[in-house]
């Protein structure tokens, strides 16, 4: 946890509670909260003192999921959508201006039928953005309570439960346009190819699949237990990423050089 003199960002969700002694150390620490409110979504910004009234930083987000800082103190926001292939990552300036960094990412209605699943966790290093894509519309409820099956109608994207690597020509703060991924691009990436996109303003991005995680695993009680790559952070040695799976209840280490991955229980064996 950073101290009060450390610039940065804290992402909070509705079910997170911070103890008072923790909050005392954050008197000057900016807090940004993603709020998914129908019919709109917003980012709330709060500065010192911590117990201030939050202010709306930006509106018009579509199912904001995760937030990270850019090198120049702006924000990247991953956003889901219930419609197929309308996921996106937005670039939000400190003054609250939003534009899409990339659109056309995999998305779809998730298993509860009440929200979207798509772009999720992010990790940024220099000009490379790593981000996960959730199960999308691949999972549906089984006939028995507490069970899940594969969507009998099929899924809308070949890029579900994956970790993608996006190499930008310049740091994200200097990208002026918007990259747009097509269904054909998704198929090419799923086949192991690297796709190069242009933002229309001189910027380019090379996107490839670093790792693919099992979409589902057989489960005695649930029929299938689906993957949901939910959190990312760099390993202490900087050579990998830790990925937290919210459905498998597991932590996986991904090698950034090879894309090979191991679950934490295997690492500790």
Of the pLDDT bands very low, low, confident and very high (cuts 50, 70, 90), residue 22 is very low
φ, ψ (nearest 5 deg) of residue 173? -65, -20
Q: Tell me the per-residue pLDDT of 179-225, one tens digit each, with 9 for 90 and over.
A: 999 999 999 999 999 999 999 999 999 999 999 999 999 999 999 99
DSSP class of residue 53 equals P
**Residue for token pair 């950034």:** 256
Distance from C-alpha of 83 to C-alpha of 46, rounded to nearest angstrom = 32
Q: What is the pLDDT of residues 139-167, one digit of tens each?
A: 999 999 999 999 999 999 999 999 999 99
pLDDT digits (tens, 9 = 90+) for 90-108: 999 999 999 999 999 999 9
In this prediction, residue 43 carries a pLDDT of 65
Distance between CA 231 and CA 122 in Å, rounded? Answer: 7
pTM of the model: 0.82
How high is the mean pLDDT of the chain? 85
The answer to whether 108 touches 120, Cβ cutoff 8 Å, is no
For the segment 223-242, what is each residue's pLDDT rounded down to a tens digit?
Answer: 999 999 999 999 999 999 99
Q: pLDDT: is 137 or 268 the higher one?
A: 137
Confidence (pLDDT) at 264:
83
CA distances from 189 to 26, 131, 203, 232 (A): 42, 14, 20, 21
Instruction: Note the pLDDT tens digit of each residue in 99-132.
Output: 999 999 999 999 988 899 999 999 999 999 999 9
């Amino acid at each position: 946890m950073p101290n009060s003199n450390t610039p940065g960002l804290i992402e909070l969700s509705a079910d997170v509670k911070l103890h008072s002694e923790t909050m005392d150390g954050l008197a000057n620490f900016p807090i940004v909260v993603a709020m998914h409110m129908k019919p709109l979504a917003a980012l709330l910004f709060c500065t010192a003192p911590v117990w201030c009234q939050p202010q709306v930083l930006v509106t018009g987000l579509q199912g904001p999921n995760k937030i990270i800082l850019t090198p120049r103190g702006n924000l990247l926001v991953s956003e889901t959508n219930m419609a197929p292939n309308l996921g996106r990552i937005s670039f939000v300036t400190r003054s609250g201006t939003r534009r899409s960094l990339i659109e056309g990412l995999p998305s779809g209605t998730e298993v509860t039928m009440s929200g979207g699943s798509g772009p999720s966790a992010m990790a940024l290093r220099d000009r490379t953005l790593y981000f996960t894509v959730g199960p999308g519309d691949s999972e549906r409820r089984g006939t028995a309570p507490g069970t899940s099956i594969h969507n009998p109608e099929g899924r809308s994207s070949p890029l579900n439960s994956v970790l993608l690597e996006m190499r930008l020509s310049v740091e994200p703060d200097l990208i002026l346009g918007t990259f747009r991924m097509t269904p054909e691009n998704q198929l090419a990436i799923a086949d192991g190819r690297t796709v190069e996109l242009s933002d229309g303003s001189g910027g380019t991005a090379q996107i490839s699949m670093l790792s693919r995680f099992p979409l589902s695993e057989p489960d005695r009680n649930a029929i299938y237990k689906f993957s949901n790559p939910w959190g990312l952070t760099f390993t202490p040695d900087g050579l990998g990423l830790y990925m937290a799976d919210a459905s498998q209840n597991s932590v996986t280490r991904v090698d950034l050089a090879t894309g090979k991955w191991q679950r934490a229980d295997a690492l500790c064996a």
